[in-house]
Amino acid sequence: MTPQKISIDSNNNLVVPNNPIIPFIEGDGIGPDVWKASKKVIDAAVEHCYGGERKIEWKEMLAGEKAFNETGEWLPAQTLETAREYLVSIKGPLTTPVGGGIRSLNVALRQELDLYVCLRPIHWFVGVPSPVHYPDRVDMVVFRENTEDIYAGIECNYDSPEAKKLLEFIRTELNAGDKVRFPETASFGIKPVSKEGTERLVRSAIKYAITHKRDSVTLVHKGNIMKFTEGGFKKWGYDLAKNEFGDQVYTWEQWEATKKADGENAANQELEKAHHDGKIIVKDVIADNFLQQILLAPQDYSVIATLNLNGDYISDALAAAVGGIGIAPGANINYTSGHAIFEATHGTAPRFAGTNTMNPSSLILSGVMMLEYMGWDDAAKCIKNGLQTSIMHKRVTVDFYKLMDDATQVSTTEFADEIIKHF
């Protein structure tokens, strides 16, 4: 078998050879420990499921402290080039360099490759300690927009000439000077939200719901306050659902229209029928209400599409409900170009670097997402089974051990071996 690159065909379908070359960044702090465990589990699952027929050829890329020590750069151009060339890669956590004008490495990677979806599946594994009564009711997949919103990084400090100019523009052109309560000391941030940016995100979410037989897509927004940005997201999202997916979806707007014309009973019957016919229900919820709903009625939500900042809060709040960042996986994806980086969602936990004690589940489950993205579903399933059984046997790393009764504490490496034992 000759190692080959993963590519994308003219219909935007990923073409995955049996011996794909996949670049990895091991990460800083606890990164090397959790990466070593993850690589072992992923390789073992591929071997277990496909014999010698399929095998991943790993290729190291440098980033973070390791890159800085070896090359003097935090994110060498070569790394970006490799991620671009090989399409699919995986990474451990990276230190964010403090000061010196260096952006977060993660944000840089996302922006350079235009990875517009931050994908976070939130699923509870039986037995994982949780602060909520019914973590089994949480089963959501969050599509967080990754390239726009207040995260675009367009800000100016209150005492800069740019802030003064902006204030002048607000006063004279927007006639809204009185809305800046303390003009002398107000800093400004700009929140770009576009139709194209919204459409590609919502399109990905609806396609995902159709492919994975999920019953609803919820647009989460603050359109009640920010009419043109968050409100635009809601409007463009509904328009896209209607225009591109037609009969495959039933929207809340249709429900409202029927209610207005024929009453609530008729609208509910229509909704019931749409659900029965297997249509995806596209609805929307205001973000603050949604943060209540994920505690009160998480079973009512499946696929979530939301803007960058809301998505940040929602992903972490949901992760906490199913066991926290030690187990929550993530990915950043451009479904059009095929580029995808799968990553642990926790940081480098530098205090625990080299201790071989931390939970590798976040990176292992990111590997599971990667295998699913590649269409290697059997290997993905096999890892999930192994992880579930290890947790049920209560042989877990320190973070879970402290919260479980009668558990046995195992190291990062031993936890990986447990998973493999229970494929």
Q: Give min distance, CB of 100 to ligand NAD, in A.
A: 14
**Which amino acid would we find at residue 231?**
G
Q: What's 4's DSSP letter?
A: B
Q: What is the chain's length?
A: 423
- CA separation (Å) from 73 to 67, 138, 145? 6, 41, 28
Q: Output the residue with the shortest Cβ distance to ligand NAD.
A: 347
In 180-251, which residue ranges form alpha helices assigned H by DSSP?
195-211, 230-245
Q: Give min distance, CB of 404 to ligand NAD, in A.
A: 14
From 43, 215, 288, 316, active-site residue: 288
312 is catalytic: yes
From 91, 116, 149, 151, active-site residue: 151
Judged by CB under 6 A, does residue 95 bind ligand NAD? yes
Contact residue for ligand NAD among 93, 121, 338, 367 (CB under 6 A): 93
- Both tokens of 73, joined, read 């750069």
Measured CA to CA, the distance from residue 13 to residue 132 in angstroms comes to: 39
Q: Give min distance, CB of 280 to ligand NAD, in A.
A: 31
Judged by CB under 6 A, does residue 94 bind ligand NAD? yes
Nearest CB to ligand NAD, comparing residues 54 and 346 = 346
From 43, 114, 312, 417, active-site residue: 312
- CA separation (Å) from 296 to 141, 392, 423? 18, 26, 34
Q: Give min distance, CB of 110 to ligand NAD, in A.
A: 10
**Which residues neighbour 367 within 8 Å (Cβ) at sequence distance 6 or greater?**
38, 41, 42, 90, 342, 383
Measured CA to CA, the distance from residue 5 to residue 89 in angstroms comes to: 11
250 is catalytic: no
**Which residues neighbour 399 within 8 Å (Cβ) at sequence distance 6 or greater?**
324, 326, 358, 359
Judged by CB under 6 A, does residue 343 bind ligand NAD? yes
9 is catalytic: no
Judged by CB under 6 A, does residue 326 bind ligand NAD? yes
Q: Give min distance, CB of 237 to ligand NAD, in A.
A: 27
**Residue 47 in 3-state DSSP?**
helix
Stretch touching ligand NAD by CB under 6 A, among 118-126, 226-234, 340-348, 376-384: 340-348
Nearest CB to ligand NAD, comparing residues 213 and 351 = 351
- E-strand stretches of 212-289: 216-221, 249-251, 280-286
Judged by CB under 6 A, does residue 348 bind ligand NAD? yes
Nearest CB to ligand NAD, comparing residues 29 and 386 = 29
Residues with a known catalytic role: 151, 222, 288, 312
User: What is the contact surface with ligand NAD in residues (CB under 6 A)?
Assistant: 34, 93-96, 106, 325-326, 343, 346-349, 351, 358-359, 362, 399
